Amino acid sequence: MCDDQKIEEAVLALLGAFAFDNGRAWKRFDFGAMQALAAKGLISEPMGRAESVHLTPEGLARAKALALQCFGR
């Protein structure tokens, strides 16, 4: 069984790694993980017609830190 918290952190790290325009990121990740991140106030609501979400200031900071931790050198 997968650890949902680790999946959410991995998705957040990927959002941070691929963020553009000061915190926008494409929302093509697991719907459950995206909903959980929105519920925690880390990203904007992932439902709707837009193809991207906006990371909140806290979400962007955590996403960038996780991306560096997971994918940095």
In sequence order, the β-bridge partners of residue 20 are: 24
- How far apart, in whole angstroms, are the C-alpha atoms of residue 21 and residue 10? 21
- How far apart, in whole angstroms, are the C-alpha atoms of residue 65 and residue 71? 10
| Band (28; pLDDT cuts 50, 70, 90) | confident
Task: Look at the chain and report how many structural domains it folds into.
Answer: 1
Range of the domain at 47: 4-71
Contact between 57 and 27 (Cβ < 8 Å) = no
| Band (73; pLDDT cuts 50, 70, 90) | low
Whole-prediction pTM value? Answer: 0.82
Express as a percent the part of the chain with pLDDT over 70.
97
The per-residue pLDDT for range 36-68, each reduced to its tens digit, is 999 999 999 998 888 999 999 999 999 999 999
Residue 55's CATH number: 1.10.10
